[in-house]
Structure 1
Amino acid sequence: MPETPVADLSYEAARDELVETVHRLEAGGTTLEESLALWERGEALAQRCQEWLDGARKRLDDVVADREQG
């Protein structure tokens, strides 16, 4: 089954896959090529999670700013 593009993942899906990816890397037993692919996917997943968190922070900041102005 093909992997879902990282950009299409919700925060929860990206976080869950990142946790699984870290577990797989820590467990070992993969080839160098597989480990590199896991690492690259993990980096992309971590970035996706950060994007979601940054977006949530901005939304919260916007609400607070609107309340302070109104």
Structure 2
Amino acid sequence: MAEEQKPIGEMAFEEALEELEKIVSSLEGGDVPLDQSIARYERGEALRAHCQKLLAAAEKKVEKIRVGSDGKPAGTEPLDPE
């Protein structure tokens, strides 16, 4: 892993996910000292939370098109109305 890490809040979803995947891979390998494993796990958890937040924001933006009885678009509504 790089010495200098980009702040998680500045990362795009794809960037955060890629780093998270690298962290998981390194932890699964089992060849990382315990102190580094703990630090990587903590960063991984922060990356996971960031990705989840970005996904939730994207889901709120997704809309589906409503179709009227005549088969023509009649507006939009949230994808998963609550």
- TM-score, with structure 2 as normaliser: 0.73
List per-residue Cα deviations over 1:4-55 (Å, max 9, x = no partner). 0111100000000000000000001111110000100100010111011000
CA distance in 1, matches of 2:26, 2:76: 47
- Counterpart of 1:48 in structure 2 is 50
Number of residue-to-residue matches in the alignment: 67
* Structure 1 segments of 4+ aligned residues over 3 angstroms from their partners: none
- TM-score, with structure 1 as normaliser: 0.84
- Counterpart of 2:35 in structure 1 is 33
SS of alignment partner, residue 7 of structure 1: helix
Q: Any residues of structure 2 matched to 1:1-70 within 5 Å, and which?
A: 1-61=3-63, 67-68=75-76
Structure (1 or 2) with the greater strand fraction: 2
Relative contact order, higher structure (CA 8 A, sep 6+): 1
Structure (1 or 2) with the greater helix fraction: 1
Unaligned residue ranges in structure 1 (runs of 5+): none
Identity score, percent: 35
